[in-house]
Each structure stands twice: as structure tokens, then as C-alpha cells.
Amino acid sequence: MEVGSIAADLHEQEHHGPPTPNQSSRVDAQTLGIYLFIISEIMLFGAFFTAYFFLRVVKGDPWPAPGTTIPVGIAAVNTAVLVSSSFTMHWANVSAKNGNRPAMRAGLWATFFLGLTFLSVQINEYVHLGWSPQDHAQGTIFYGLTGLHGAHVTVGLLLLLFANIRANRGHFSPDAHRGVEIPGIYWHFVDVMWIFVFFSLYIL
């Protein structure tokens, strides 16, 4: 009896800190966190889209502003580049789950360079547009929406860079590939959001 009491006391002394949290959700904390973050970002983009549709639908202003042009053809090619990166990201994620390390690394690097190409073309477009955000309301909204998306692409590229570094160091396996999956979820969000931006600003 006394031995059991001593063992219980020792067990209590070994445990330090708060108890292990109970995870009731079927989704792990990291995945749930990125989904909640994406929901907040959708609301942020929604505010910009609200301003855009207010200008075009409520006020009836022309788009783009009179005397200005938007390079639809270049943007369409750039859209194809970004959409292609979703496929390479999916390839990397599937390869990580299957333990195919060379394919995973190839998919991650391909996604990174396609994203970098997209961002470079976007910056080059800004340089050659010939008008700026302060020129008119259309310019403010155009640069605001595309710039907001460009900022998200930049964050995605940083996540992909870290994933590439970790992949080259052998950090991922079929049982532990969250470092590929989470950036992948974010990158697909960036791609889908660009499709909405492209069709709203360049096509409609």
C-alpha cells in the first residue's frame, strides 16, 4: 500500500505543465489553422471586390478608365502559368504522401519557379501600364486588388522556399508531410483567388 502511494507521488512529480489538450476536431490543428486563415483572407479580398463592383455597378463608371488599357493577353498567359503551378503543387503533395522524394522535390521547385515567374510578369506589367493608383478610382482598385494578390503570392513563395529547403534536407515522409500539405493548401487558395481577380478585372 505504501509502495503504491510512493509510486503515485513520483508520477505526479514527473508531470509538469498543463495537461495535454483534448483535440475534438477531426482536422489537425495546423490544417484547421490554415483554413481559418484562408477564410479571413477571403473576407479581406471581399472588401476590395465590394469596392470594385460598387464602382462598376452602382456608379456605372467605365472599366478600365477612359484613355487607359489593361494587357489582357499577357494576363491570360500569366494566369495559365499560375494555374499550372497548382498542378505541380498537387504533384508534390501526392509524391510526399507516396514517399517519392525526387518527384516531391521536383514538384516543389517547379511550383516555386512558376510562382516566381507569375510575380515577375505582374511587376513588369505595373512598370509598363502607364498609369498609377492615384490617377483615378479604377487605378486604385486595380492596383489594390492585384497588389493584394501579389502580396499573397510573395508569402506563398516564402512558404514554398522553406518547404524546398526542408525537402532537400530530407524532412518529409509519407507519415510526416504537413510541411508540404499546408503550403499546398495556401497555394491553391492563391491560385483560385487569382482566377476571380483575372475574370473580374481583365475579362468582365
Q: Say yes or no to pLDDT of 139 above 50.
A: yes
Residue range 56-107, pLDDT digits in tens: 999 999 999 999 999 999 999 999 999 999 999 999 999 999 999 999 999 9
How does residue 136 score in pLDDT terms, banded at 50, 70 and 90?
A: very high
In whole angstroms, give the CA distance from residue 146 to residue 132.
Answer: 13
Residue 39 Cα to chain centre, angstroms? 12
Structural domains in the chain plus CATH codes? 26-203 (1.20.120.80)
**Running DSSP on this structure, what letter comes out for residue 99?**
T
Strand partners, 176: 173
What distance in Å separates the CA atoms of residue 85 and residue 79, rounded to the nearest whole number? Answer: 10
Ramachandran area for residue 28 (φ above 0: left; ψ -120 to 50: alpha; else beta): beta
User: 63: alpha, beta or left, given left = phi > 0 and alpha = psi -120 to 50?
Assistant: beta
Cell of 109: 521547385
Q: What gap in Å lies between CA 167 and CA 183, rounded to an integer?
A: 13
Band of pLDDT at residue 7, cut at 50, 70 and 90: very low
Question: What cell does 137 get?
Answer: 478610382
Does the pLDDT at position 5 exceed 90?
no
Task: Tell me what pLDDT residue 18 has.
Answer: 60
Span between the terminal Cα atoms of the chain, in Å:
81
Radius of gyration, CA atoms only, the chain:
23
